[in-house]
Copies of this chain bind each other. A is one copy, B any other.
Amino acid sequence: MINNFSFQNPVKVVFGKGTIAQLPKLIDKKNKIMLTYGGGSIFKNGVYVQVKKALSGFEIIEFGGIEPNPTYETLMKAVAIARQEEVDFLLPVGGGSVLDGTKFIAAAVPYEGNDEWNDIVLGAKRYSEALPIGAVLTLPATGSEMNYYAVISRTETQEKYGMGSPVLYPKFSILDPETTFSLPKTQIANGIADAFVHVMEQYLTFDQNTPIQDRFAEGVLSTLIEVAPKVLAENPAYEDMANYMWAATVALNGWISTGVAQDWATHAIGHEITALHGIDHARTLAVVLPHLMAYKKDRKLSKIVQYGKRVWDINADADQTAELAIEKTVAFFESLGIPSKASAYGIGEETIAEIEKRFAERNQKIGEHGDISAEDIRKILEMSIS
């Protein structure tokens, strides 16, 4: 049965060709803007020029160099500058890492305590204030453009955690599929895998008789599967890039998860792998998900079978359908050039032992039933290196 829920997502999405030109209608000119970006791809793909042209006459300072898996260490430098310069508005231009990092900056700038890591990232204190954010998305993947979540890493301690608050919803996000054409294929592949697993985390739990939510989720999965070879081919069509971009956004904007239980165990385990090994986020998800599905097959059976039937068109008995659905999932990741074995990334027993220890020390159990223990996590990861 559907759970009671409360849903509100106020983000304004401005989608389509040429929409970066609408920036001056979306930000009040009285704001002092901090434009944030990553490794500099926005200088090569023409997006920086488009943004600056649209905002000519606006007061803008810039902060670049936000890394993939944005770090607390880097972001605190931006926080110091934004405070000193009395910035009013944050304009992340880039992918999920730039958006996530900028959400942390937004929460940290007005924060008055002295432990941003503990209070904002680990969520020890509630905060009701943040600088306003408006985003220009260039890499469809994380869904950060239409939700209030962020994932922040800390180099010093090799940690990576999710954070979030409704005050961190972007005021607007510009999604122009044309900005995605120059993306390296590996980033597109990662983006598709990331969006796919976002849907699975919200969908592959147990049967709650929630047909709207299930069919929306299945619709996003089928679309990602359909569009993947097209956007990974040479010279993809605009409309395919557009469908990939919109699929990645709705994969994590709350539309598919109203009133349903959610899993997120794959992400919790994947974050540890990235924190320890620096492996791309999406690849860590592919390394965990199929093995988690196999490990929890009995308890997730009704949903794995529904997924197999509706998304992969498998018609067999329940057990066989589930087996085949897991195989199809692995094959899908492989079609993206993403192996589903942790051993393919050089991860072995030592890393697994460290991850088990971290979950055990935090006494943290995960999954939609809160029944996946540190020991279960070790077993799941062992399946991934066997």
Query: Is A90's CB within 8 Å of the partner chain B?
Result: no
> Is A219 a contact of B223 with CB atoms below 8 Å?
no
Using a CB-CB cutoff of 8 Å, which residues 62-81 of chain A contact chain B? none
Contact for A239 among B2, B4, B238, B239, CB less than 8 A: B2
The distance in angstroms between the C-alpha atoms of A69 and B239, with both chains bound, is 41
Chain B residues, Cβ within 8 Å of A227: 211
> Is B209 a contact of A243 with CB atoms below 8 Å?
yes
Binds B, one of A12-20, A29-37, A115-123: A12-20
What does the 1/0 interface line of A250-262 toward B look like (CB < 8 Å)? Answer: 1000010011000
> Is A2 a contact of B211 with CB atoms below 8 Å?
no
> Is B2 a contact of A19 with CB atoms below 8 Å?
no
Query: Is A124's CB within 8 Å of the partner chain B?
Result: no
> Is A6 a contact of B12 with CB atoms below 8 Å?
yes
Chain B residues, Cβ within 8 Å of A209: 239, 243
Chain B residues, Cβ within 8 Å of A1: 238-239, 242
Query: Is A40's CB within 8 Å of the partner chain B?
Result: no
Using a CB-CB cutoff of 8 Å, which residues 201-254 of chain A contact chain B? 209-212, 214-216, 218-220, 222-223, 226-227, 238-239, 242-243, 246-247, 250
What does the 1/0 interface line of A39-62 toward B look like (CB < 8 Å)? Answer: 000000000000000000000000
Other contacts beyond A4-B17, A8-B10, A246-B258: 8, CB < 8 A: A4-B19, A6-B14, A7-B13, A15-B258, A209-B239, A210-B243, A212-B219, A219-B219
Binding site for B on A (CB under 8 A): 1-19, 209-212, 214-216, 218-220, 222-223, 226-227, 238-239, 242-243, 246-247, 250, 255, 258-259
